[in-house]
Structure 1
């Protein structure tokens, strides 16, 4: 089947999961915010056949595997500020950045180097009214201005991520990172070049995954 033919058949939107509703209740998401998230997922369903933005086998479980997986970041932000900005690095399909922007109303920069994915993210912004800015650029090309919070999900191994993101990180930046089974190995490797405070929280979605929170990050002399 051609790309054009496939792009004309949006995916059917799966029913919202019980865990999604429970998570929204726990975090205090308004009915309006939940509808905006639904509009985001519907837009993803329109673009997915053309761009393969998420793993095809995860579409049926999109509410938990991607949306709730994004929302759980809010459990681990602590007292993070927002004055210097939040950013989702290598955001791809927009998880977790779009979901977090819709859930909190806090502006999030979505950094994505792939032009087609950036076009999708602009379509999401139009469809949902999300307070996001789409930055079609590589992280290394961003101006050196430290962020308050940096998110990254399935982006790069931690040592490489810290090297690339160093210009937008300082000791006051909080990093919220989705990581898999190698999380501790990546922390050990990154600690050779950087000092930081790290906490690891079990994922509520995947028993093999964790959410890392890094603070007080500095490059070792």
Structure 2
């Protein structure tokens, strides 16, 4: 068998982790939602050999490193709900957007400029029934349509992210952002061009990471 054929084989689905089950219990996720999340991870395993959607070394720990890392956003959403929907920008493999949609049943727009990754997201939608809309576009090219909640994980430094996501945010949008050890530096840089309220929550997955919640975002004059 050729190397290409071997490398395109679907990855073996890791067993659901204890932390995943505990997190689902704590958040009150149904058995059906957990099955949908498993179908999503299985679809990721089929596409991963071709597209390298996540770091190859993280596949064995996919339940904690990616799924639980996404689920923890549910602890920090606040009360933003004006009926304008949610969006995940630069969504790539669908974390956290697909997970949020499956866990809550709330529609999420997945904005992804790469056509191949957008094709995967459509396949994940078909496999899981997730209430998502896949938008294959650059964020800055979108027409203005602010959302209630905007997610971004491993996407771009904060100053650049805030510049790009203008069409999807206004002062009423809450941003939920995964950030690493440079989080404070990025906040300081972003504060030169934007004013905002920020809260920082430690990640339950990575001691060097945080979840940032930004509100009342405005560009400085």
TM-score, with normalisation over the residues of structure 2? 0.97
User: Do the aligned partners of 1:108 and 1:132 also contact (CA within 8 Å) in 2?
Assistant: yes
Q: Distance in 2 between matches of 1:134 and 1:2?
A: 34
Structure 1 residues 50, 3: CA separation in 2 closer, same or farther (over 3 Å shift)? farther
Structure 1 residues 175, 57: CA separation in 2 closer, same or farther (over 3 Å shift)? same
User: Do the aligned partners of 2:139 and 2:167 also contact (CA within 8 Å) in 1?
Assistant: no
Structure 1 residues 6, 144: CA separation in 2 closer, same or farther (over 3 Å shift)? farther
TM-score, with normalisation over the residues of structure 1? 0.97
Structure 1 residues 9, 191: CA separation in 2 closer, same or farther (over 3 Å shift)? same
Greater shift in the superposed pair: 194-203 or 7-16: 7-16
User: Do the aligned partners of 1:7 and 1:47 also contact (CA within 8 Å) in 2?
Assistant: no
The alpha carbon displacement at 1:137 in A equals: 0.4
Q: Distance in 2 between matches of 1:8 and 1:126?
A: 21
1:82 matches 2:109: no
Q: SS of the residue aligned with 2:165?
A: helix
Which residue number corresponds to residue 134 of structure 1?
Answer: 134
Q: Deviations over 1:110-169 (max 9, x none)?
A: 000000000000000000000000000000111111110000000000000000112221
User: Do the aligned partners of 1:121 and 1:134 also contact (CA within 8 Å) in 2?
Assistant: yes
Greater shift in the superposed pair: 7-16 or 98-107: 7-16
The alpha carbon displacement at 1:208 in A equals: 0.4
Greater shift in the superposed pair: 130-139 or 8-17: 8-17
Q: Distance in 2 between matches of 1:214 and 1:2?
A: 49
Q: Distance in 1 between matches of 2:203 and 2:95?
A: 15
Number of residue pairs the alignment of both structures matches: 221
Q: Deviations over 1:38-77 (max 9, x none)?
A: 0000000001001000000000000000000000000000
Which residue number corresponds to residue 8 of structure 1?
Answer: 8
Q: Distance in 2 between matches of 1:130 and 1:212?
A: 25
Structure 2: state its 5+ residue gaps. none
User: Do the aligned partners of 1:6 and 1:50 also contact (CA within 8 Å) in 2?
Assistant: no
Structure 1 residues 90, 3: CA separation in 2 closer, same or farther (over 3 Å shift)? farther
User: Do the aligned partners of 1:111 and 1:135 also contact (CA within 8 Å) in 2?
Assistant: yes
Which residue number corresponds to residue 103 of structure 2?
Answer: 103
The alpha carbon displacement at 1:6 in A equals: 4.0
Q: Distance in 1 between matches of 2:151 and 2:81?
A: 14
Q: Distance in 2 between matches of 1:20 and 1:43?
A: 18
Structure 1 residues 45, 82: CA separation in 2 closer, same or farther (over 3 Å shift)? farther
The alpha carbon displacement at 1:9 in A equals: 1.0
Q: Distance in 2 between matches of 1:193 and 1:178?
A: 20
User: Do the aligned partners of 1:3 and 1:50 also contact (CA within 8 Å) in 2?
Assistant: no
Structure 1: state its 5+ residue gaps. none
User: Do the aligned partners of 1:101 and 1:131 also contact (CA within 8 Å) in 2?
Assistant: yes
